[in-house]
Amino acid sequence: MYVVTLLCAPAEGRLESALVENLRNAWGGGEAQWLSVEEAAEFRVPTMPTNFWQVWESLQSSGIDLVIQETKNRKKKMLLADMDSTMIRQECIDELAAEAGVGERVADITARAMNGELDFEGALTERVGLLKGLDESVIPHVLETRITFMPGGHELVATMKANGGYAALVSGGFTAFTGRVAEAIGFDENRANTLIAEDGKLTGEVGRPILGREAKVQALEEITAKLGIEEADVIAVGDGANDLGMLGRAGTGVALHAKPSVQAQCDVRINHGDLTALLFIQGYARSEFTS
């Protein structure tokens, strides 16, 4: 048995009941349940529709995300999340680079690395090298003036924790940012890379070992073992190529507003909804959200 979820971003439009009913009838689904009026609905189907991806594609132009999953074990016990362009809207290293006067060069490397065109570790080393000499005080300045949270993040973490879940922030970015972001949103723990500074200035080096794709998978393994849960009990979310390992291993891996090459390798893709989409696809109604 499968469950189909349709959702949209209220700012982009509304989910029409006629669309939900037409799709439910076409796929022989059960009665539709509204998780949020005009925003999210779900229904169950006995088998995977053969034209699922064609329908998914057709709905994208209408600002509607479509997800199908097995009904078993939908509500997860753990959230494993990327930070940059996932829990926050920005890429922290790009914002630091903008302050250092090398923003365009670094942003280009970041985009290529996140799309899987460059080796992550090499790309990170190169970008951090361009920050050499930057005053360490720029970090809190960037946090205060340039970093904004992705909508729905507080509700996602608070709701999962209110229902017994655990939340871990695992980033290829930097601890100077993940510590503040994790505390503000309510994560139980965070892991990231360390920027090295001497005499108040960045040295252009990053602490070893570098946390990249494999380290995110390692975090998944270590934290689930610590909690005594299975990888199937985890919902993971990210947007870049270095997230693919954890997205593929988690019970539900969500590509959120992700790079095309990342979307192509993920079965759950959210391009229009915000982070509350991760609650809807677990079956939570908006009335059950904790803020």
* Contacts for 14 with CB less than 8 Å, ≥ 6 apart: 8, 38, 39
Residue 26: CA atoms inside 13 Å, Cβ hemisphere, count? Answer: 12
User: Which residues have a catalytic role annotated?
Assistant: 82, 84
Dist. CA 160–CA 237, nearest whole Å: 14
48 DSSP 8-state letter: -
Is 168 in contact with 191 (CB distance < 8 Å)?
Answer: yes
**Comparing C-alpha atoms, which of 160, 190, 150, 144 is closest to residue 291?**
160
Q: At which residue do the structure tokens 């871990």 appear? A: 168
Q: For the chain, give the number of residues.
A: 291
Dist. CA 117–CA 261, nearest whole Å: 9
